[in-house]
Structure 1
Amino acid sequence: MPTLKPGDTFPSDVTFQEVPTSRYIPWSEESGDITSCGIPINYNASKEWADKKVVLFSVPGAFTPTCSVNHVPGYIQKLPQLREKGVDIVAVIAFNDPFVMSAWGKANNVRGDDILFLTDPDAKFSKSIGWADEASGRTGRYAITIDHGKIGYAGIETDRAVVKHSGVDAVLASL
């Protein structure tokens, strides 16, 4: 598949391996601790996002400096503004396994399904749209908005450790 661009249709066969969240495993004090593990379940993004407004952003790796300091916090802080713009789902993907992504969500005090922390094993999705990092084979740093199956915005970072086209401000400006 070529790179996604505004006006394209979101692929009909995208399934991410998702970390447990309250949407699938009810959140409780016992499972809310960063050291608690749940059982990963598959997440059929094509089905779940078909009739919703979605912001999907991708980072090269959980717990890395740029991702943890400059990328994810902006989406957490501006989640109310995204909701005001009609966004139903905010999801972040990374190359990491579901247990790391779950811990990263918990480390950022994300509870429930405010932001889905999904895994893109082997950068399968990112490679399918041409946005995996060629040097490392990991997911690239990018953001996509999907409105009822149609791509509204698609921005990728071409410089290392930069959050400009994939950051929450660029996404908010596009909504």
Structure 2
Amino acid sequence: MTISIGSQLPQAKFKEKTADGPTEITTDELFKGKRVVLFAVPGAFTPTCSLNHLPGYLENRDAILAKGVDDIAVVAVNDWHVMGAWAQNSGGMGKIHFLADWDGAFTKALGLDADLSAGGLGLRSKRYSMLVEDGVVKSLNVEENPGQATVSAAAAMLEQL
């Protein structure tokens, strides 16, 4: 079953690289009592993710937060080393959360996993964005094509806020 508007996010644990090293963050710690924009990418450092999707959220970070959002996070089925390197390389470290769903457990629980083996990527996440309030999905935008970031882009999310 794919998650939908009005659904509670499943419990999950992510790894995140911080200035102090790797840390574990749970869905409760990230979403409980907060309004959070979460977006997912098929893979860190991949072209659409690095050249379009992530930069839009970094460029619009302040505008998104000004709309009453407490936090922004990106999640990918990658390990925390890769996500940490992407955070540093993109200039996003400390600005948004770079969450490693290293085994795809969260992505699978959402029903938003995608087999991208034909492109050499294996099990990954579909590209999406969502607004989450206190752990409940308030808006959900899933891309039809993993190579596009339009309905899940920061500009589209800003219009929904």
- The TM-score with structure 1 as length reference comes to 0.83
Do the aligned residues in 1 keep the contact of 2:12 with 2:105 (CA within 8 Å)? no
Q: After TM superposition, give the deviation of residue 46 of structure 1 in Å.
A: 2.1
Q: Which has the larger radius of gyration?
A: 1
Superposed CA RMSD: 1.4
Is 1:121 aligned to 2:102, yes or no? yes
- Find the aligned partners of 1:133 and 1:105 in 2 and give their Cα distance: 23
Partner of 2:137: 151
SS of the residue corresponding to residue 56 of structure 1 reads strand
4+ runs deviating over 3 angstroms: none
Identity of aligned residues (%): 37
Letter paired with 1:122: D
Partner of 1:15: 13
Alignment of 1:19-168 (within 5 A): 19-21=17-19, 25=20, 38=21, 40-112=22-94, 114-135=95-116, 136-168=122-154
Do the aligned residues in 1 keep the contact of 2:126 with 2:146 (CA within 8 Å)? no
SS of the residue corresponding to residue 106 of structure 2 reads helix
Do the aligned residues in 2 keep the contact of 1:122 with 1:138 (CA within 8 Å)? no
Bigger proportion of residues as strand:
2
CA shift digits 1:23-59 (9 cap, x unpaired): xx3xxxxxxxxxxxx3x22111223311000011110
SS of the residue corresponding to residue 151 of structure 1 reads strand
List alignment gaps of at least 5 residues for structure 2.
117-121
Letter paired with 2:108: K
Aligned residue pair count: 156
List alignment gaps of at least 5 residues for structure 1.
26-37
- Find the aligned partners of 1:160 and 1:88 in 2 and give their Cα distance: 27
- The TM-score with structure 2 as length reference comes to 0.90
